[in-house]
C-alpha cells in the first residue's frame, strides 16, 4: 500500500533552518509577542537572506544548509538588526567551543541553569549534522526546543558532542561544540 501524500515542512527542500533558528532565538529573547511581530520577523529573515545572497552563498545555503562559521556571521548581523530596529542589545558567543574535555551532560547542566533564570534572557542555537534548532529550556532529562521543523523536545541522554563516543540509541543527536551559539539579551 502506498503511504498517503504528506505536505513538506520547512527544511525538506531547503537548508535554511539556520536562518530560521536565528530568527526564532531572537523572537524568544526580545519577547516575540510585543516586539517581534510577524512583519518584524519577516524583515529580519529577509535581511539574513539578503546577506547570504550578497555573499554569493544563498544557493549553497538553500541546498546544503548554513555551516557554523556562516551562522555566526548571520547571528552577528541579527544582533545589529535588533539594535537598529528594536533598540535592544543582544550578543552571541560560543560558550563550549574551547573546552575539549567538556561532555554534553555538563553543557546541558550549564544551559539548564542559564535558561532557568529570567524568562527570555538567553537562548541557545544548536546544530547537528542535519539541522539547526533553538533550545528554550533544559531539565534534567529533557531539552525543550523552539524549532522551525516542529520538533518539541530532545531527551538529554540521546544528545552528545561529536567528540564523545556514540550511544546505543536508534536516534541520537551528535552536536559539534562549535555549533552551539548562545544568544543573550543585555538587561537594562
Q: What is the pLDDT of residues 49-68, one digit of tens each?
A: 999 999 999 999 999 999 99
**Helix (H/G/I), strand (E/B), else coil: 24:** helix
Locate cell 551559539: which residue?
Answer: 181
142 pLDDT higher than 90: yes
| pTM (2 d.p.) | 0.91
Q: Which range, of 8-12, 153-157, 168-172, averages the lowest pLDDT?
A: 8-12
Pairing state of beta strands 173-185 and 159-161? parallel
Q: Max alpha carbon distance in the chain (Å)?
A: 60
The pLDDT of residue 118 is 59
SS3 content of the chain, % helix, strand, coil (to 5): 40, 20, 40
Locate cell 538588526: which residue?
Answer: 81
> Where does the pLDDT of residue 33 fall: very low under 50, low under 70, confident under 90, or very high at 90 and above?
low
What is the spatial distance between Cα 67 and Cα 54, in angstroms, rounded to a whole number?
Answer: 17
Amino acid at each position: 500500500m502506498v503511504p498517503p501524500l504528506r505536505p513538506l515542512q520547512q527544511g525538506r527542500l531547503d537548508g535554511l533552518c539556520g536562518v530560521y533558528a536565528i530568527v526564532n532565538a531572537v523572537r524568544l529573547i526580545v519577547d516575540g509577542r510585543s516586539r517581534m511581530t510577524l512583519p518584524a520577523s519577516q524583515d529580519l529573515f529577509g535581511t539574513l537572506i539578503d546577506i547570504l545572497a550578497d555573499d554569493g552563498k544563498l544557493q549553497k545555503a538553500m541546498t546544503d544548509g548554513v555551516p557554523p562559521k556562516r551562522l555566526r556571521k548571520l547571528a552577528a548581523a541579527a544582533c545589529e538588526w535588533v539594535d537598529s530596529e528594536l533598540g535592544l542589545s543582544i550578543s552571541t558567543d560560543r560558550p563550549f567551543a574551547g573546552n575539549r574535555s567538556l561532555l554534553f551532560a555538563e553543557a546541558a547542566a550549564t544551559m539548564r541553569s542559564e535558561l532557568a533564570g529570567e524568562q527570555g534572557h538567553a537562548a541557545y542555537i544548536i546544530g547537528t549534522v542535519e539541522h539547526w534548532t533553538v533550545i528554550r529550556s533544559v531539565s534534567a532529562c529533557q531539552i525543550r526546543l523552539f524549532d522551525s521543523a516542529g520538533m518539541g523536545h530532545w531527551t538529554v541522554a540521546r544528545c552528545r558532542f561529536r567528540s564523545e563516543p556514540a550511544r546505543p540509541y536508534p536516534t541520537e543527536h551528535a552536536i559539534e561544540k562549535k555549533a552551539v551559539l548562545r544568544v543573550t539579551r543585555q538587561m537594562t
